[in-house]
Amino acid sequence: MGHESNGVSNRDTPSFNFYSDRCASHMLRKKLPFLHSLLSPVSRHVGHLAGHQYDVIVVGGGHAGTEAAAAAARVGAETLLITQKIHTIGALSCNPSLGGVGKGQLVKEVDALDGLCGRAGDWAGIHFSILNRRKGPAVWGPRAQLDRQRYRDFIQSELLSTPRLTVLEGSVEELLVTEPNPEEPGHHRVTGIRLANGSHAISARSVVLTTGTFLSGSLFVGQTTSPGGRIGDAPSSPGLSHTLRERLGLRTGRLRTGTPPRIVKDSVDLSLAKLHLPDSHPTPFSFLNTHTHCKPEEQLPCYLTFTTPGVERVVRESLQLNCHIQQDTKGPRYCPSIESRVLRFPGRSHQVWLEPEGVTSDLLYPQGLSMTMPPDIQLRLIREIPPMRRAEIHTPGYGVQYDFVCPTQLSPALQVKSTQGLFLAGQINGTTGYEEAAAQGLWAGANAARWALSMPTVTLSRTESYIGVLIDDLVSRGVTEPYRMFTSRAEFRTSLRPDNADLRLTPKGFEEVGCVSSVRYQESLRVRNSLQDALTALQALFLSTSSWKKKLPSVPISETKSTLLTGLDLLQYNDVTFEMLASAFPESLSSYMEFAQRLKIEAVYKPHCDLNKKEIERIQREENMSLPQDIDYFSLPVSLSDEVREILDRVRPSTLGAATRLEGITPAAVVNLLNYVRVTEKKKETPQYFDGERVREDAA
Amino acid sequence: MLPLRSVCGGIWRAAVHTVRTSRGAPPYRLLSSTCDGAPAALADADTIFALSSGHGRCGVAVVRVSGPASATALRCMAGFTQRLPPPRTALLRSITDPRSTEVLDRGLVLWFPAPRSFSGEDSVEFHIHGGPAVITAVLQALGSVPGLRPAEAGEFTRRAFQAGKLGLTEVEGLGDLIHAETEAQRRQALRQMSGELGRLYQDWSDRLKRCLAHVEAFIDFSEDELIEDGVLNRVDVSVRDLQAEIERHLKDERRGERLRGGVQVVIAGATNAGKSSLLNKLCQRPAAIVSPIAGTTRDVVETALDLGGFPVLLSDTAGLRDSSDLVEREGVRRALERVEQADLTLVVVDSAHLPSEVDRAAAFLREHLSSVLPDTGRCLLVLNKADLLPEKQRQKLDMELRGVSGLPAVCLISCQTNEGLKDFLTVLHSSVKTLCGDPLFGAPTLTQARHRAHLQRCAAALAQYQRYRDTDLALAAEGVRVAVTSLGRITGRVGAEEILDIIFKDFCIGK
């Protein structure tokens, strides 16, 4: 973050890079192409852009912005990405890691929709592990420690070689807003942006704002406060905030977050910490990669250590010097500062992970030690922890407070309901985390492109993806604290697994959204058909228990079962692997060996997914029933209580499904709304994974 | 905790999905123009059953079953082992419990194969004897047939709607119907949950939520955070205990509190309006103490009575007024609680307090009603002490308060002189009769059967936790999730946020 200074570009002379037609290979590359020549910005007068009409402008170059810009370009939109510094595109502002439990699912899903972060993680990862390995494949959490430099390099090279995508260095002063298109719902329409310094206007049909913590951001260290969203970067223009609040009338709230100090690696005695090794066989995030860029033996370890009573003492003594902590802005319960942790759970020892920042980096990232006290006290605090007794701080930790737009004002396409063509993604919607930002960015970017190209926007259901859960939670419930993904938020966790994200999303991404390349699409079809064939082959193995005992003598098959069992039944046994079945029946199964693990998972989860199926179908039907956005709930001539009318008016649910999930909406109220729903045309088949029958929607 | 969402969660669902519009239909296209008559593909594979006849004085009760497993129910309860009976023909059979093969009753059975049935699905009707014991036994036996569960409010109607078996006007009334039925169920559930049974369910629910929160915490956070292994061991013990307790409860029929049947009629109103006098008049004995001192009745006085053949549970409550007396305040709280649970409230008003002008009297009564009743519950207005009014005013009130909009039926009576009592009894009788005609009102057997089904599902789900505990924690957790949802259908819906709240209260999560 702050320590990574990039002073190369000059904000006062906006410049832009325009690269096109560099065909992006989706496979993990052996080498990144000519990075340095790509990164020397071609300076042009911004006046060249003034008359230019873009389809989509993306503001911000973080996780949300990069995925949004790349997705918009993939869908086919002429896209402009505007960021303060080209060199910080793809910067990991906080922790040097990607994925985890719940978050790993998001990375897999972004990858399944041809997003960047999965492949970037495979390129930049230096320590891979599958969390929850012993807890069942539905909750496996693929995770990697990243080399910050490599991650940024990958994202930059990928963006700068994406066709139809232009990157411009500059600062956005305000949004251009005009009268709405009367044929669409909304009170305003966005027509582009105006840059700071020179008031150049650039027009676009849609704009995606991914301003992260920069919207009215303030930085806090000790008792010092300064405007900004990240140390080392200029604050964003107050004009943007003003447009959103005053011109567009959007409700905003304020949240806080923080980051730990970065520690000089050589000053830490790692022999006093517990060594934590990565998986010996790194598993890539991307469905397109068979291996990671980092070789297994080149991976770096992490270290685990614990806080001491001294840490708590320092926190308590310095409270009056800590204005971030004293403010009552909502911070996350699950990624709290060390101050909040020791105050809420005193007298305990808390975990601190010491993580590498990169292969060549001299720094360590102390996960769990986010803090905002004055720098000299930060030093005192970390020295209370045994391995850091003589540690030096490279960059102190700090807190950030920032505005977010209450996300219930968004549609499930992440478009601001009141403003045609304006999309929001990332922390501006009240979320926290790279993966949450990337997921929203991809979806907002794809929809912004579809909007600009006059194609209908698309939605993801919470029954088919974690991205759908994330967006549905945001737009139908709103946030009261920074929102982070957990597997416990997904009702259909056993169906939404990291292993099947490609089956769930890639076909839809190609056929309905247009954000997936045909290379990836073809690959997903190959995988789907192979898995289907393999499961059919397994079901065709239909033997008596005694025959199975002969074939697989090592497996304890209950004698009492006199019925016939299929290969699929057998694969559900704990002790049976696909490899065992394949060696018993090589002629019918050996060709599917590459899918051995996926087949085992499919077999074990199939009965549970079948149970989920009915509920999933019900919810999907409700989600296909959209409620008009301009409906006047107070004047509807049906028997609804005033309370229900108020809730509906405030939230304006997009679908009947979203209305049902609102607190305080009665079943009778939902039935009364039936008269007003519009059934969305459903062209595709309900995604059912290998259940033999495919259920077609009966909505005409 | 109001179990509204839970009791009726999922009721209206399938009602919605047959609404179709053609491509590009205008947003406000009305249902009437979009509903086609073709039988829709049925979404619910579940087979549902319910008592379809009313309560009270009935010789024959009708239990309806609808859904794909209807034939199974017919086979295993009416002894049709070889082939099913001819469609739409009444046959006299022994009706047996499929678990014990004990004969429960002899009655008529009718088989209606799809689509020619009320709901458009395969259905069966059992016409059995109307005693509560027989009805309960048959409903519980149906609950034990695989694939069958008690119907939620409005579900039969909804399926009929879905199959295009309802006319347009009936469809328009669907929302109101479901509202009425869920309200009835809500009151029924409230009555049950305020007792010992309610405390038992609530305790299970709290323990289950904690189990789920701890499993979820272990899944979502244990890799990065300090969550000791001991957490799961404690969950194991809890789940085992809960499963055993629920199974024991299901086996021991006596443990369930005996639920009082009948229409719950509550007398409420201001102090000294003559509520206790009315109770005593109705039960024809001095069940409650009557005195001219305001605030004589402090607790709820309950009497069961037979009103023209219909079972009624009549409760007299403390007069509603602000009081500094602790005992009286508790009495008022209980009174309001009773009104909330009532099927029918008799709001008693002292006629002498009425303004003499009719318009102002109506406004006074409207205002008074809104202070006594939580919302638009069913009620009758009883203007007592009519003997204290001059004859002329009495006649004017009696004539002109009838049919004033925003007021329920008004009865002018005097408990002192018995004037107007006969007319009042006629009105009360017809209200009770209407209530009894609806199978959902005052039907504890049905609620019991529903509870039973949810508890069985809950116990089975806890067994899934045990089965997968060591091999796949995600699947084990799925068991606890299903258990929480099943129990939540009795005690109130549990959302993901509630589980997260427990997690963050019990663990320090922060990486």
Mutate to test the interface with A, among B219, B465, B507 (most CBs of A within 10 A): B219
Q: Report the 3 state secondary structure along A521-542.
A: HHHHHHHHHHHHHHHHHHHHCE
**β-bridge mates for residue B47, sequence order:** B148
A628 contacts in chain B (CB < 8 Å): 27-28
CATH 1.10.10 maps onto chain A at 521-616
Q: What confidence tens digit (pLDDT) does each residue in B108-147 have?
A: 999 999 888 888 889 999 999 877 778 878 888 888 888 8
Min Cα distance A319 → chain B (Å) is 19
B13 contacts in chain A (CB < 8 Å): 618, 622
Check CB contact under 8 Å for A678 and B27. Answer: yes
Rounded to an integer, what distance in angstroms lies between the CA atom of residue A217 and that of residue A402? 4
Q: What residue of A is the nearest CA neighbor of B14?
A: A618
B471 contacts in chain A (CB < 8 Å): 136, 574
ipTM of the complex: 0.82
Domain A262-398 has CATH 2.40.30.260: yes
Do residues B234 and B214 make contact, with C-beta atoms less than 8 angstroms apart?
A: yes
pLDDT band at residue B181 under the 50/70/90 scheme = low
Looking at this protein, which amino acid is placed at residue A608? H
Q: What are the tokens at B344? A: 């029918």
- As its CATH architecture, domain A521-616 has Orthogonal Bundle (1.10)
* Helix, strand, coil in percent for chain B, rounding step 5: 50, 15, 35
Give the pLDDT confidence score for residue A246 in this predicted structure: 92
Mutate to test the interface with A, among B2, B4, B7, B13 (most CBs of A within 10 A): B13
Q: What are the tokens at A107? A: 């990375």
Q: Would you call B301 an interface residue with chain A, using a CB distance cutoff of 8 Å?
A: no
One DSSP character per residue, B449-469 reads HHHHHHHHHHHHHHHHHHHHT
C-beta neighbour count of A421 within 10 angstroms: 27
**Domain A625-685 top-level CATH class:** mainly alpha
Q: What confidence tens digit (pLDDT) does each residue in B368-389 have?
A: 888 887 765 688 889 888 888 8
The residues, ordered by sequence, that sit 6+ positions from A642 with a Cβ below 8 Å of its Cβ are none
Give the pLDDT confidence score for residue A15 in this predicted structure: 35
**β-bridge mates for residue B50, sequence order:** B64
Do residues A423 and A207 make contact, with C-beta atoms less than 8 angstroms apart?
A: yes
Q: What residue of A is the nearest CA neighbor of B186?
A: A666
- Three-state DSSP class for residue A423: strand
Q: What are the tokens at A576? A: 């049976």
Instruction: Among A337, A574, A668, select the one facing B179 at the smallest CB separation.
Output: A668
Min Cα distance A166 → chain B (Å) is 36
Q: What are the tokens at B231? A: 């957490």
Angle between helices B326-341 and B174-193 (to 10 degrees): 140
C-beta neighbour count of B32 within 10 angstroms: 11
- Three-state DSSP class for residue A116: coil
Check CB contact under 8 Å for A639 and B226. Answer: no
Angle between helices B473-491 and B196-221 (to 10 degrees): 150
Pair type for strands A79-83 and A165-169: parallel
B16 contacts in chain A (CB < 8 Å): 621-622, 625, 656, 670-671, 674, 677
Do residues B9 and B176 make contact, with C-beta atoms less than 8 angstroms apart?
A: no
Q: What are the tokens at A262? A: 């970065």
Instruction: Among A132, A340, A672, select the one facing B219 at the smallest CB separation.
Output: A132
Do residues B78 and B93 make contact, with C-beta atoms less than 8 angstroms apart?
A: yes
Q: What residue of A is the nearest CA neighbor of B31?
A: A675
Distance of CA A402 to the CA centre of its chain: 20
Q: What angle do CA B109, B114, B116 make, to 5 degrees?
A: 80
Tokens 């009620």 found at? B379
Q: Does residue B418 surpass a pLDDT of 90? A: no
Q: What confidence tens digit (pLDDT) does each residue in B76-96 have?
A: 899 888 788 999 999 999 999
Which is more confidently placed, B330 or A518? A518
Check CB contact under 8 Å for A674 and B31. Answer: yes
Rounded to an integer, what distance in angstroms lies between the CA atom of residue B364 and that of residue B346? 17
Tokens 């701080």 found at? A393
Question: Cα–Cα distances in Å, from B113 out to B15, B66, B67, B69?
Answer: 21, 10, 10, 11
A667 contacts in chain B (CB < 8 Å): 8-9, 11-12, 153-154, 178, 182
Q: Does residue B173 surpass a pLDDT of 70? A: no
B25 contacts in chain A (CB < 8 Å): 678-679
How many residue pairs bridge chain A and chain B with CB atoms within 8 Å of each other?
Answer: 179
Do residues B346 and B316 make contact, with C-beta atoms less than 8 angstroms apart?
A: no
Give me the helices (H) in B57-121, please: 70-78
Give me the helices (H) in B100-195, please: 132-143, 155-162, 168-172, 174-193
Check CB contact under 8 Å for B504 and A334. Answer: yes
Averages of pLDDT over each 10 residues, chain A, 700 residues? 34 34 38 44 46 90 97 97 92 93 97 97 97 94 96 95 93 92 90 84 95 90 86 82 92 91 96 95 96 95 95 90 68 72 85 94 94 94 96 94 94 95 97 96 98 95 94 91 92 94 97 96 96 95 87 79 83 92 93 95 92 78 77 80 84 82 73 66 41 34
Do residues A231 and A462 make contact, with C-beta atoms less than 8 angstroms apart?
A: no
Looking at this protein, which amino acid is placed at residue A62? G
Instruction: Among A135, A621, A668, select the one facing B473 at the smallest CB separation.
Output: A135
Give the pLDDT confidence score for residue B284 in this predicted structure: 75
Rounded to an integer, what distance in angstroms lies between the CA atom of residue A422 and that of residue A177? 10
B174 contacts in chain A (CB < 8 Å): 671
Q: What are the tokens at A451? A: 């909007």
Q: Would you call B502 an interface residue with chain A, using a CB distance cutoff of 8 Å?
A: no
Burial class (CB in 10 A: 0-12, 13-18, 19+), A372: buried
Instruction: Among A139, A344, A491, select the one facing B219 at the smallest CB separation.
Output: A139
Q: Would you call B237 an interface residue with chain A, using a CB distance cutoff of 8 Å?
A: no
CATH 1.10.150.570 maps onto chain A at 625-685
pTM of the model: 0.75
Min Cα distance A65 → chain B (Å) is 25
B485 contacts in chain A (CB < 8 Å): none
For chain B, list the domains and their CATH numbers. Answer: 47-162 (3.30.1360.120), 196-252+452-506 (1.20.120.430), 258-436 (3.40.50.300)
A572 contacts in chain B (CB < 8 Å): none
CATH 2.40.30.260 maps onto chain A at 262-398
HSE toward the beta carbon, residue A368, CA cutoff 13 A: 24
Do residues A619 and A462 make contact, with C-beta atoms less than 8 angstroms apart?
A: yes
Rounded to an integer, what distance in angstroms lies between the CA atom of residue B368 and that of residue B376? 13
Q: What confidence tens digit (pLDDT) does each residue in A349-403 have?
A: 888 999 999 999 999 999 999 999 999 999 999 999 999 999 999 999 999 999 9
The residues, ordered by sequence, that sit 6+ positions from B174 with a Cβ below 8 Å of its Cβ are A671, B15, B154, B157, B158, B161, B166
Instruction: Among A101, A134, A622, select the one facing B220 at the smallest CB separation.
Output: A101
Percent of chain B with pLDDT over 70: 74
Q: What are the tokens at A533? A: 């064939």
Q: What residue of A is the nearest CA neighbor of B467?
A: A574
Distance of CA A458 to the CA centre of its chain: 17
Rounded to an integer, what distance in angstroms lies between the CA atom of residue A443 and that of residue A429? 13
Do residues A25 and A161 make contact, with C-beta atoms less than 8 angstroms apart?
A: no
Distance of CA A654 to the CA centre of its chain: 22
**β-bridge mates for residue B265, sequence order:** B314, B344
Give the pLDDT confidence score for residue A508 in this predicted structure: 96
Q: Does residue B241 surpass a pLDDT of 60? A: yes
Rounded to an integer, what distance in angstroms lies between the CA atom of residue B338 and that of residue B346? 12
The region of weakest confidence among A400-404, B206-210, B314-318, B442-446 is B442-446
pLDDT band at residue B486 under the 50/70/90 scheme = confident
> Strands, DSSP E only, in B34-141?
47-51, 60-66, 91-96, 103-112, 123-129
Min Cα distance A303 → chain B (Å) is 12
Distance of CA A516 to the CA centre of its chain: 17
Check CB contact under 8 Å for A667 and B20. Answer: no
B218 contacts in chain A (CB < 8 Å): 135
